[in-house]
Structure 1
Amino acid sequence: MWPAVVVLVTGWLVLAGLHYFQLRIATTTLFWIAAVYFGPLLSAVPWVVLVGATAIAGRLIWRRARWRGVAAFLVPSVVVGVVVALVNWQYVYKVSWYRLHRSDFAAVARLADDRTWTATAPQGYYGPKLPAEYQYLSTVDSLSRIGVNRGTPVWFLSQWAGIPDGAIGYAHITGDIDETAELDGFGDPVKPTVYLGDGWWWVE
């Protein structure tokens, strides 16, 4: 019984994890290579994992409980699949990722306000390289300046960067939003959409 439970729960966790981190996964080089060869089929991968885990668990439980046991495993898998399909994972990610790492976002905001750091930090293609302990906050490892709001620089932590252009992620914006301010998401215009706290916005 327990091996079947472990397999099934692992399948659920992988399914949810792939949806939760879909933005970051879609930024990786491996994803872009896979996209060239498999295209739209990539979107089916999480569901293949769920179906595969359910099938393996069903096979394991069949040996003990036959149809009654298989039904007991199939029903929760269907429920999990429906829930995953209905959840707005991008919203869940943008809010929860910020809240889980709020102290590190605050530390990065302090760096952004430190003109000495922004001027002397090692420069990457997308802007000043973040200290190693904060690089996980940006898919490009950098704090990027994407515009100006009421005379103050707007600093950006990319959560997805397109090839060749485009980006969405978190931006630190000081003061009230200037609706006329132009923010450049690595070649595409972006706008603040969700306020998260302490000057941090989700922009896309």
Structure 2
Amino acid sequence: MGLLLWLVAMVYSFLRPNLWVLDWVALTAAWILFLLGVALIVVGLIRTRSLVTTVAVGLVVVVVSATIGSWWQLSPRGWFFVNRPMFNAALATDPGSEYYGARLPVPLRYLSIEGRVSGGYGEQRDTRFFAQWMGVPDDAGGYLHSPSGSPEGFDMYGMMCRNPVSLGGDWWMCGMRD
């Protein structure tokens, strides 16, 4: 049962439906289920005494959780580093002209809170923004790809990017704790 609930949380995290209000609930549930999964693995090891099976299941849980789980709150740089190849692949998505951008392809939707990438305007039109959180009424924070230099002053849905942190290779994070 715990494995099924963990799987549901991971599918929600991967698909990123337009239910951003539920993200904190889903994140909390995913962490609880992850910890429950670890406990079940330990119990399984004790009961079955099959080290190979237990380690295999444990590795699958850890790898999937570490890849698509929204643990950027714990380590923004670490989460970006783990997912950097996917962020680079997401740059091929045209952000369109909508304020909140365009939907990412399904395999990449977990990269932002609403599964979207947005672009800039004017001098920053080459910048791409992947929001990790959105506040009410109007602010956000996340990862930015800015080939033209620092994204200082970029409009993150109402909050201007101030003091961006370089992640290397034209990647930055802004509005996130370092």
The alignment's TM-score, normalised by the length of structure 1, stands at: 0.47
Q: Does the C-alpha gap of structure 1 residues 171 and 192 become closer, same or farther in structure 2, counting only changes over 3 Å?
A: farther
Q: Does the C-alpha gap of structure 1 residues 91 and 186 become closer, same or farther in structure 2, counting only changes over 3 Å?
A: same
Distance 1:198 1:127 in 2: 22
Q: How many residues align?
A: 118
Secondary structure, aligned partner of 1:182 = coil
Tell me if 1:161 matches 2:126.
no
Aligned-pair CA distance for 1:31:
6.8
Secondary structure, aligned partner of 1:103 = helix
Tell me if 1:144 matches 2:144.
no
1:186 is aligned to: 157
Aligned-pair CA distance for 1:161:
0.4
Structure richer in helix, relative to its length? 1
Tell me if 1:98 matches 2:71.
no
Q: Does the C-alpha gap of structure 1 residues 100 and 91 become closer, same or farther in structure 2, counting only changes over 3 Å?
A: same
Root mean square deviation, CA, Å = 3.5
Distance 1:192 1:154 in 2: 16
* Mapping for residues 71-110 of structure 1, pairs under 5 Å: 92-109=74-91
Q: Which structure's CA Rg is the greater one?
A: 1
Task: Tell me if structure 2 keeps the 8 A contact 1:148–1:182.
Answer: no
* Mapping for residues 125-140 of structure 1, pairs under 5 Å: 126-140=100-114
* Mapping for residues 21-36 of structure 1, pairs under 5 Å: 28-30=20-22
Distance 1:160 1:126 in 2: 13
Out of 143, 146, 150, the residue aligned to residue 173 of structure 1 is: 146
Aligned-pair CA distance for 1:132:
0.5
The alignment's TM-score, normalised by the length of structure 2, stands at: 0.53
Aligned-pair CA distance for 1:101:
0.7
